[in-house]
Structures are given as structure tokens and as C-alpha cells.
Structure 1
Amino acid sequence: MPADRRAINAPDKVTTARHQFFSQRKVPEALVSTTILKSWIRCSQLGHDTARPPVFEPLEARNLRERKEQHELLRRLYRMELQTLLRGARATGGIVVLSDPEGTVLDAEGDVGFAGKAATMALRPGVVWSEASIGTNAIGTAIHERRPVMVRGGEHFHEPHRDMSCAAAPIFDPTGTIMGVLDLSSHASAMPPATLSMVRLIIDQVEHRLFNDAFNDLDVVRFHTDPSLLGTARECILVFDGDRLVAANRYGLKSIAREWGDIGHTRFSDIFDAPSPGYVFGNSLRFRDNGIAHCRLHLRGGRVVPTAIPGAAEPEPEPISADGSAHDSGTAVTEPIPWPKPWFDSHATVSLNHAVRLVDADVPLLVQGETGSGKEAFARAVHACSSRADKPFIAINCAAIPESLIESELFGHEEGAFTGARKNGARGLLREANGGLLFLDEIGDMPLPLQSRLLRVLQDRQVMPLGGGRPVPLDIRIISATNQDLSELSRESRFRDDLYYRLAQFTITLSPLRERVDRRLLIERLWAEVSRGQTRLPVDVRDRLAAYEWPGNYRELVGALRALAALGGANQMSLEQCLPQALRTPSTLRLDSEQTDRGLLQHHTQDVIRSALEEARGNISMAARKLGINRSTLYRHLQRSITRQ
């Protein structure tokens, strides 16, 4: 007999399990899941009898209306995702159901035909679908189990419900209290296996929105080991009152191996290598076990710390009116325009996390990149996120110091070591960096004689000042940087091979600004800092800035924005008139807006989606509009990203 024929004639497992459990009073072995079996046992103990249909009493219209009002926040967040759910429900001829924490159905929408059938089975607003009222069902069992549950056909306790299958999951508030349950029900044979995953994806969005503007008086830490998921519903969120954990999402708790019951009993220092969120600098968060995650901090009072570097000034924002316009005094800017903090994209952030691990492990690092691409800013960020953040960061530009002085500046000297030597000598930058990090910029321009001395220092871990004296032990980490090809210089004998291999044990290349896919978002962030929030950047100006090639990279862009802030602040000309001459020439622009949205999505999907979600603050509909795609397409991209984890 063919195998498929035998499969068709094989006894139905659920039917066999029901017969053993309800008729023979036996516990079915491996025929239904443990979740279903435990529910059957509970419902039997509650007095349910499969021979008698459940008795239910729907709420009166007035009471149902009051119940809906009590859960208006839940219903509002649910409606934001309703259309996506309804498409899934109608595709299977089913309905979407929202219940309150007790299992009372608040809303039921979807396929008209199945909705009528569901109503005859009491799956309609006002009816309580707890296990105590209805027996085993996805809503009631999900509430009891506090986790997603799928109940198929005959797995329901009562016979009338065998014609449908249901997938439900609880919605948790930031303290772990069940706010309600989201359910998708359809004909027993029509529900695809991925239904529960779709329900959970929607719940992720609902729970993520609960953190929007909800904890302004507390410290909110958003983090993930994959920086592309920051700003999405998959990011980990922890909320602290001082150093005490007071709220979280499910992903945040899972990432730190905690349960809902640990909220209120966990300290920041129990998890991270810092006493409280206020002591975290940079966009990397170090765990006590030395793991690192990308993070974005929203500290109490509204201060955002995305990539802060210690010592960077925090500009005080000027008041902004309700319509978004600045309160303008009509006077020119008299204070210096601030230099903004660096903003790293996801690729640079991954490199930053790698660099921190390398520096902490005492692996010399070489950073390559075009002029102005942010090599020193990157090195400072590595220092700020490393275990040596409270130790010195000493930067030396090997191309800026005269060759006659660079040796004494770097290695130090004793008194009288040479004509013009300082009285009492000088420690030298290597000794100044002792215990911390030394950044050698433009290392390719270091004279060859000094290269041999630097190599000796790196090998011996000690420095001999000019003019004699005893060797001084050194404990330093080295980051070098160049815009040249050191390997090529080495082949041309303009850079020592042995020093190259010593310094470049790992190489990180920073991409030029023209290759960043989030230029518009970057420009808006930088502008918010250099303008101190006094003026908004017009869209056409932002797009023109984003489309320019920027041969000087980050440094040139920041310079142009600072000039715009200074000239535009005088209110004597529009910001467009203040643009550099090169940006007023159409031929210098690389991409138009439509090409940016479509082309970058095709070639850099993950970064573009992340940027769009950040701009939209997690709003799927708004992000999809920005990307020029529909919501279902965006959901598919997000699901693929989740699958790749």
C-alpha cells in the first residue's frame, strides 16, 4: 500500500487523544502537546463536561462599552496594526479578536462568513473566553500560560469548537502585567503554521509603542547586539529609576536572563559594567561578562545620548513653540557654533564594537579612511567604550609636528638633552598615554628613523627619553590611522614592514560619507546639534546636502552645517542661499530623492529600513511610506531579518 494512503488512513492523533482522555480517563502519551493536555486537566477540574456545551452570559451593551473605555489605550494601539492582521485573517477566511486581561472579547473583525459562524460559537464581543468559562481555547490558555498558544480543531475542550483553530498571544505592559490578548481564529483546516508568528510580530509592535514618551522622567536604555535592529520592535528595552530596573520589554529581559518578577529587584550594575545609565558613554553598552551591545540612551528629562563622547559639550536647546518654529530673538548668533558629536551608521558601529574588543585585548588597531571620514572621532569612541575610558587618550598627528621635534614630543627628553630642551625635561606623549590609549594619526607620514624607535617601544613595552635616563615601563594601547595604503608604502620601502605588521594586526576601514545610506537622517541629527534646535532644516536643503558627494567627508559636511547655522541664525538670508557654492550647482549632486529611496533600498536594504524606522519612531506605516513600499513588503523584510538572526 502506498505510504500516502497509509497516512490518510492513520488514526487522527487528536481524536485518539480525546477518546483516551475523555472516555477512557487515560492520559494520552505524545498525542497532544503538554500545553493542551495541562489545559484539559485544568478544565476538567473546573467542572467542564464535553457532553454539555459551555454556559456563557455576554456583557450588556452598556457594560461592554465601559469595558472598552477602560482599555482604550490597548484598543488604540491594536487598531494601528489592524489592517495587517485583517489581511492575514481574510486570506484564511478568519477573524481577528482582541480581549481584555480576563479574556472578555472587546473586538472581533474579519471575514463576514466566519464571523457569523464564530458568533454561533460565542466568539463575539462581550463574551468571556477564559478557560473557566469556555474551556481550552487559545485566548484563555494564553492568559493562563502567559505565552503564545495555538489551539487547533479538536484540541479545544468542547465539541462545538472543533470546527475552528485559534492562535493567540498575551500583550504585556512594561511591568509584565497582561493588558489583553490578540487572537486570530479561522476554520480548523485553514490556519497556516505561520499564523502564530504573525500574531507575535504584531504584538511586538504594540508592546514597543508602549514605551513611546511613557518614561520621560526615567532613564530608558535601548540596545541590541545587532545595531540594525535598534529602533525596531525587536530592540531590547530596559527602564531604570536611578540604578533600579522598573520596566522592560520581553526582548530586554531575555537578553539579560531575567524574568518579569525580577523587575524592581535588579540593579543596573548587576547587568552592565557601570553604576547607572548616566555613566554610559558612547553608543556601546558593556555587560559585566564583557559582552557589548549597541545602545541608544534616553535619560530623564528628555536628554538623548546616542553616541556621546566624554568631554563633548551638550548644547542647551532653545525653546520651540507648539508649531515647531523656534522662538527667534531676531539677533545673530553670538555664541560659537558647537561641533556635533559623531553619529555612526550600523557598519561603523559593528566595527566600533570589534575595535573595543581588540583594544581591550591589547591588539594594535589600524584605522583607514579618506580625509575627514572621522578616524579620530572613531578612535575616541573606542576609548570611551573601552575598559580604559577613565584613562588618558593622547592623540598625535604625525604629519603636523616638525620632524625635528617629533622625536622629543613622542618619546620625551631629559633636561639638557639638546639645545632648546625644556628645563626639567618632558615626559613625552608616550608616557602621557601610560595606562590609556595613544592615537597615532597620519602614521604613514612618520619619518623612517622614528619608525624604528617606535617599533622598539612597542616590542619592549618601555620608552627611553632623549638624553639618557632609565627606561620607563609603558602600559598603553595603540590605535593608528592613515588615509594612505600602508601596505603599498611598505612595498615601496617608505614604511617599515615590521612596524606595519606590528600596528596593523587588525585593520578597520571607515566608509566615505558618500557611501552612507542614512545621509538625510545623519544631516538632521547633526543640524539639531549645530543649530541648538533653533531652526528646522528645510527638506529641499536637507535633500541637496544629502545628494552631494562630500569629498571632504564628515569634516566638510559639519563645516558646511556650522556655516549654515551661523549665517541662517542672522535671519538675513534663507538657508538655501547660505549653501556652499558647490551645492548650488545641480551637476554636483549625485542622487535625486527618488533614486535615494528606491536604489538604496535595493542595495542597502537593512540600513535603509533601520533608518526609516528610526525616522518614523517605529511606526510601520510611516516607515513604509518613507521607503515607498507597502506595509506587507516591509513586514516581509523584517521577518527575513529576524530569520537571519
Structure 2
Amino acid sequence: MLVNARREFCEGAPLPDNLLAPPLRRSWERLRAGGMQQRETPQLQPRVARPQQVEGNADRRLARCAQHDMDQLWSAFGGRQWLMFCVNAEGLIVAQREHGLTDSPLLRPIQVGRRLRESHLGTTAPTCTLAEDAAMLVRGNEHYLDHFTAMFCLSVPLHGLEGEVTGALDITGLGERDPDYLLDYFRQAALSIENRLLQECRPCHLLALQHDVRWLNTPFQGLLAIEENGRIRAANRVARRLLGLPRRGPLPELTLDAVFAGANVHQRRRLLQAGPARRVRFSEDSALQVQYLRAPVSRRGSVAIPAASRDAVKGSLRAQGIQAVRDALDSHRGNVSAAARRLGISRTTLYRKLQQGD
């Protein structure tokens, strides 16, 4: 049905309702409006010459911050017919993982230094993710071009210091994978990468926060970058949600004292003091566990990662995810719906993670 619908759509017919997810439908409509036909050969742009040297600082930083989590994901999901890569906000591939014996003509052209554009490749997961700021799955005949109908690709967005889309993390290959299963791990990896990007705010103090101390030093922790004058310079996705801040865009003019106005003077004074996590009153009926991670670092210095954070990184993504689910259930006295809401996952995903840990 999808094959015929795509052919008729390219000839000017409307798409049947509910045939495609809305983001893919919008992609198809953009491509038809641009005159692309389903039988066209994709137009891959030339690779950037000597990409390691011509990438900007932001691209090198993104590649560096994505390296650890890509290695972890590749060890779990990589294979001869699969490829994993990270693109910046313009679709330029800044990092990738591939099998040394890959011989697929579909996968070989996907290399660091090549830019992926919807107008050249049709509908793909990374281009849709960058356009929609959402996790995307494109497989089989959901691709606009016939050339890619044997492929499966799944992407999740990566966000920068102001909540903007700064790139995407993607797995592409030949064959099928369980998309819900993959999505859990890739979303968790995206949070981890974003945390590393925020840790690159070297001139700032770094503060971690969560409702439950057991979620600190995991990808689910909130992070704040604090300037010397107490102004909040940046906040990751989790911190923005915890503090009720805008999801994206520059932060309002906020100081640490203003955010924790409900805390007493002694608690506020200790916010930027080293030590174990402390319970700090946040509002009239809630509190947060807050831990000071590090002081500002000079640009020539290296960012010191606390021992607790280093130990947490050693655990696998699977183990961290399963433990976070168990902790959430404990804190909500076994209430599955409440635990799923707190973690931002579905009840089905929560049950699946529990089964993985049995």
C-alpha cells in the first residue's frame, strides 16, 4: 500500500490519512514541492576535505562529547550491516562508528565530513529529527526515494545550552530492529551527551540536582552552570523541567538564590560548597537533592569530573536505566504510572526495562 501511495503521491495525488507519521508526511510534501521524484538517485554532497582540521570548535566539542556514549551503543547494537553517527545542526557528520568490513554501497558513503540534506537524500531519520526536534524512525518504504527502501534509520535530537537542537544521534542499517527498544537507549545516550556538553561551560560552577539522590550522577540528573556572580548561565533539559524553566531558548535572568528562594540562608550559602548531596527546600511543598560538582575551570585546564561521576560512567547504559526505573518505583511506592511520568517514559517501556533486569 505504501509503495503505491508513494508513486501516486509523486504524481500529484493526496496521501491517505494516517498512512505516515505527521513529520514524515511533511517531509514528503516538502520534497514533492521541491520537484523530487521517487526514482531519483540521491545526490550526496562531497566530503569536507580533511574534516578533522576544518571542523569548527563546536563540531569538535560535539564529537568529543558523543564519543563515550556512541562507543557504548555501538558495542551493544553495532554490526557489519549497521552504522552509527552524530551530525551537527546543519547535518554535517562529525563522528561515526562502523564495522571495518562493511561492504554495503548504501552505508559506505555515510562518512565524517559529509553533509546530509533532505533536498539531496529525501526523507531520512536524521534530517527529519533536525527539522522536527523529535526522535524519528524511518524504515523501508517510508523513505521518499526508492534508493533507500531497504534501510532502517532511527535518530534522536541533541540539545545545546539554550535548549536548541545542536545535532542528532543516529543508527542506520539494513534489516530490522526493535525501534522501541533502541529508542530507550538512544534517548538516554542523548541526555548523557547533553550533560557532557554542559560540562564544557568551563568558566562556570557546575551543580547537579534531582528529587531523589539516587538519580544524581546518571543521565537523568539536572545540571546547572552557575557564573561567579550567581547567575544561572545554562541548564540541561532535566534541570529546566525540574525548575519550571522554558524548554528552549535563553534562560530568563535568574540567580541561584532566586531559584532557591524557599531555602534558608544557611542552605543557600552551602549550594556552591563541595561535599555530598544536600536536601534543599525548593518551594513550599517540595525539595531537591543538590550536589556541587566542580568549580570554574580555566580554558587551558581540563574539566575535573568528580569520582562519583566517573564511577557512574563505568556502568553500562542498560544497568543505569534499569536502576533508575527501580529507584523511581521505590520512591513512588510501586506506582508504575507515577514512576513512568517522573522518568519521561511510557509504562510499556518501564515494564520492558524491569524485565531486562530480571
TM tier, smaller: 0.7 to 0.9
Distance in 2, Cα, partners of 1:180 & 1:137: 14
Instruction: Give the Å deviation of 1:194.
Output: 1.5
In structure 1, how many angstroms separate the alpha carbons of the residues matched to 2:16 and 2:256? 47
Question: How far 1:212 moved relative to its partner?
Answer: 3.4
Is the counterpart of residue 166 in structure 1 residue 166 in structure 2? no
Alignment match, 1:615: 307
Query: Which residue number in structure 2 is paired with residue 286 of structure 1?
Result: 281
Secondary structure of 2:149's counterpart equals helix
DSSP 3-state at the match of 1:251: helix
Matched residues in 2 for 1:93 and 1:41: separation? Answer: 30
Residue 134 (1) aligns with residue 129 (2): no
Alpha-carbon spacing, 1:76–1:135, altered in 2? closer, same or farther (3 Å): same
Q: Flag the 1:247–1:75 CA change in 2: closer, same or farther, 3 A.
A: same
Distance of aligned partners of 1:643 and 1:158 in 2 relative to their CA distance in 1, 3 Å threshold: farther
Change beyond 3 A, Cα 1:44–1:243: farther
Q: 1:105 aligns with which of 93, 96, 100?
A: 93
- Structure 1 residue 79 and structure 2 residue 67: aligned? yes
Q: 2:137 aligns with which of 129, 150, 162?
A: 150
Distance in structure 1 (CA, Å) of the matches to 2:241 and 2:103: 37
Residue 230 (structure 1) shift: 1.1
Give the Cα–Cα distance (whole angstroms) in 2 for the partners of residues 155 and 116 of structure 1. Answer: 20
Relative to structure 1, is the Cα distance of residues 643 and 232 closer, same or farther in structure 2, using a 3 angstrom cutoff? same
- Given that 1:114 and 1:187 are in contact with CA atoms closer than 8 Å, whether structure 2 keeps it comes out as no
Q: Check conservation: 1:243, 1:277, Cα contact below 8 A.
A: no
Secondary structure of 2:85's counterpart equals strand
Q: State the match for 1:201 in structure 2.
A: 188
Partner of 2:15: 27
**Relative to structure 1, is the Cα distance of residues 300 and 193 closer, same or farther in structure 2, using a 3 angstrom cutoff?**
closer
- The structure number with the bigger radius of gyration is 1
Name the one with the larger strand percent: 2
The 5 A counterparts of 1:330-369 are: none
1:634 to 2:319 alignment: yes
Residue aligning to 1:296: 291
Report if aligned partners of 2:107, 2:173 keep a CA contact under 8 Å in 1: no
Aligned to 1:592: none
Q: What is the distance in 1 between the residues matched to 2:153 and 2:204?
A: 39
If asked which structure has higher relative contact order (CA below 8 Å, sep 6+), I would say: 2
- Going from structure 1 to structure 2, the CA distance change for 1:284 and 1:254 (only over 3 Å counts) comes to same
Shift of 1:144: 1.3
Partner of 1:239: 225
Would you say the 8 A contact 1:209–1:618 is kept in 2? no
Q: CA RMSD in A?
A: 3.5
Percent sequence identity is 18
Aligned residues: 315
Deviations 1:229-260 (A, max 9, x none): 01222101223444543201111112233222
Which letter does structure 2 place at the counterpart of 1:239? Answer: A
- Describe the superposition over 1:366-396 as per-residue Cα deviations: whole angstroms up to 9, x where unpaired: xxxxxxxxxxxxxxxxxxxxxxxxxxxxxxx
Pair 1:86–1:237, CA change in 2 (3 A): same
Cα deviation 1:238-296 (Å, max 9, x = unaligned): 23444543201111112233222251445556654359998365822333453222112
What is the 5 A alignment of 1:260-409? 260-266=248-254, 268=256, 271-274=259-262, 279=268, 283-288=278-283, 290-297=285-292
1:452-487 residue CA offsets vs partner (Å, 9 max, x unmatched) = xxxxxxxxxxxxxxxxxxxxxxxxxxxxxxxxxxxx
Instruction: Report matched runs for 1:357-506 at 5 Å.
Output: none
Pairwise CA distance, 1:68: 7.4
Q: TM-score, normalised by structure 1?
A: 0.43
Structure 2 residue 90 is matched with structure 1 residue 95: no
Other structure's SS at 2:233 match: strand
Once the 2 structures are TM-superposed, how far is the Cα of residue 50 of structure 1 from its aligned partner? 1.8
Amino acid in the other structure paired with 2:236: N
Query: TM-score under structure 2 normalisation?
Result: 0.74
1:41 aligns with 2:47: no
Distance 2:189 2:106 in 1: 22
User: What amino acid sits opposite 1:57 in the alignment?
Assistant: Q
The answer to whether the 8 Å contact 1:130/1:141 transfers is no
Which amino acid in the other structure matches residue 279 of structure 1?
R
Partner of residue 210, structure 1: 197
2:33 counterpart letter in structure 1: Q
Give the gaps of 5 or more residues in structure 2. 272-277, 298-304, 330-338, 340-358
| Distance change in 2, residues 1:153/1:230 (3 Å) | same
Write the deviation string for residues 548-594 of structure 1: whole angstroms up to 9, x where unpaired.
xxxxxxxxxxxxxxxxxxxxxxxxxxxxxxxxxxxxxxxxxxxxxxx
Alignment equivalent of 2:111, drawn from 95, 112, 124: 124
Amino acid at match of 1:615: A
Distance of 1:81 and 1:173 partners within structure 2? 17
- Gap regions ≥5 residues in structure 1: 1-11, 303-612, 625-630
Q: How many Å separate the matches in 1 of 2:266 and 2:3?
A: 55
Q: Within 5 Å, which residues of 2 pair with 1:502-581?
A: none
User: Alignment partner of 2:192: what SS?
Assistant: helix
Pairing 1:223–2:218 present: no
Alpha-carbon offset, residue 99 of structure 1: 1.9
Q: Is the 8 A contact 1:20 1:28 kept in 2?
A: no
Q: Give SS of 2:144's match.
A: coil
Q: Deviations over 1:61-99 (max 9, x none)?
A: 335642277622222222223332222333584111122
Structure 2 CA distance for partners of 1:70 and 1:233, relative to 1, 3 Å = closer
Letter aligned with residue 235 of structure 1: Q
Quote how far apart the aligned CAs of 1:106 are. 3.1
AA aligned to 2:41 is P
